Homo-oligomer: A and B are copies of this chain.
Amino acid sequence: MSSAAVRDRMLAAGQRITRQRDVVAGVLERARRPLGAGEICDAVTTSDPDVGRATVFRTLHSLVAAEIVQRVTLAGGQSGYLLCAADGHHHHLVCTSCGRTTDLPEAVVAPFLSRVEETHGFTVDHSSFDVHGRCADCR
């Protein structure tokens, strides 16, 4: 995902483009796996020591709200932040060995959620799946 594409998506979401947000987005663009809060703060500080901690979290929050960044749960249980090429909310497989993620196609998830709604009379507002294991490459 290019830096220009991220900027376009942020503008489309009614958010302003700032130097600080470029730095945070740049860190996530360069990552090939979800990063924890600490990793992001460190990398941001390395890129630009003048970006404040609060701004990093505010930016992550904005990116998540705009569904540009997805929040996933890492193996340890802590939150990870992941910049996806795919638009909107979707689910991931997280490899416990290499840390990389794979998108879970909606075609697989939707029928599962439909079945849940049918069998339990439950209306699903929001779902997030944490599926940890070994990816095809790491077996």
Contacts and interface: CB of A to CB of B under 8 A. Distances in A.
A113 B104 CA distance: 11
Q: How many copies does the complex hold?
A: 2
Contact of A108 (B119, B121, B130): B119
B108 A122 contact: no
Given A108-B112, A136-B120, A130 B131 contact: no
A73 B119 CA distance: 22
Contacts of A23: none
A96 B104 CA distance: 25
Contacts of A95: 122
Contacts of A128: 73, 129-130
Contact of A127 (B77, B125, B127, B132): B132
